[in-house]
Structure 1
């Protein structure tokens, strides 16, 4: 009987030859698309950008949200980093994404959940993702701003932890890129519908930043295409 491992390896090679890039959006309610008019958040404009550039891609995940044909994702509203990792353990290995787009930690800030250790929790999740899917590249996002000033201060602290984590993983020669959403190019406070989630314009900015990260991933040769 053929082993699952050999089947997985052959399917990965087949996808590579077909040029199909498998993307997994992983995170909380922003990943799900809460606040967008179409319910798909950044996923809709990102797929459009990829298609316009001739990049054959699809989203994968155990959940479906949004009025678009390819609406799969792994976004869990209200979930913290540790809770998102538990969900990832049920899907990442089997869906075998080429790129994981990780935007997680906003709920750790909102819930004031041991935020000083958020970087460690994120590191543990990234290590699991690479263990489950060794060929994958991780695009690690900083968190977008929050309209609550006190929460946003915590957001900025987590972002510093994530930047340090990405640098550490880079030194360890892991396939990771940091995507800075808490910047002049990311969603601004005026583009948040409820102080937490972006509107359509904010999600379009996120899509553009994810898109640049995917382009860089391809340019660096991280993807076997």
Structure 2
């Protein structure tokens, strides 16, 4: 289950490129799940997802939305790139990672052996948020410190670095949403961590 906001879902063509990479590598024992359908990325792909445009991690928690999505889709692995809109709304890293903890707990209620991939999110530099770049750095630092505190042997958390090597200037269309090069970089960032977790379930 790809879980996130518009970076994941609208159209989130990094997911299409990731699916394509999996197929080319012969990793075809996968099925992407979510209550939202694939969007156009130039070729047919397995594109179900939970990429909800404009959503905040803190909002998903306060509205108790994740349990319903999980109950409909029953993922074994969740790939979460979330927090961009929280950062944009100047919500603190502590509040965001506290929301992440609630989401992790809900995932584990759905499946006690859930494997969870949590992104250090891509950089952002929207024209109306001069401090967002620094806020992303602070959140990603907090994610690295937070993840080991929630990690368990039966339900491991993998931190996926989507930030390093990604440019908010040259890899986005608007300082936030990936362009073609950004989508390629995101797919590459997710690929090996996802394959490792798929193999652990095989």
Fold agreement, TM-score > 0.5: yes
- How large is the Cα RMSD of the aligned pairs? 1.8
Post-superposition Cα deviations, 1:161-191, rounded to whole Å, max 9, x if no partner, equal 1111212223x4331110011102x455311
Q: Does 1:102 align with 2:102?
A: no
Q: Determine whether 1:59 maps to 2:35.
A: no
**Cα displacement (A) at 1:192:** 0.9
Residue of structure 2 in register with 1:8 after alignment:
none
Is the 8 Å Cα contact of residues 25 and 60 (structure 1) preserved in structure 2?
Answer: yes
Q: TM-score, normalised on structure 1?
A: 0.79
Distance in 2 of aligned mates of 1:210 and 1:153? 23
Residues 146-185 of structure 1 correspond to what in structure 2 (within 5 A)? 146-148=124-126, 149-170=130-151, 172-173=152-153, 174-184=155-165
Shift of 1:32: 0.4
The answer as to whether partners of 1:187 and 1:198 remain within 8 angstroms in 2 is: no
1:111-138 per-residue CA deviation (whole Å, 9 max, x = no partner) reads 1134442111111111111111223210
User: Could you say which structure has the larger radius of gyration?
Assistant: 1
Give the Cα–Cα distance (whole angstroms) in 2 for the partners of residues 90 and 66 of structure 1: 22
Separation in 1, partners of 2:184, 2:167: 8
How many residues in Structure 1 have an aligned counterpart in Structure 2? 192
Q: Give 1:1-225 correspondences, 5 Å limit.
A: 24-33=1-10, 39-56=11-28, 57-67=30-40, 68-85=44-61, 86-148=64-126, 149-170=130-151, 172-173=152-153, 174-184=155-165, 186=166, 188-219=168-199, 221=200, 223=201, 225=202
Aligned counterparts of 1:187 and 1:181: Cα–Cα separation in 2:
11
Q: How far apart are residue 69 of structure 1 and its match?
A: 4.4
Q: TM-score, normalised by structure 2?
A: 0.87
Write out per-residue CA displacement over residues 85-124 of structure 1, whole angstroms, 9 at most, x where no aligned residue.
Answer: 4332111133111210001100001011344421111111
Q: CA deviation at 1:55?
A: 1.2
The SS at the match of 2:18 is helix
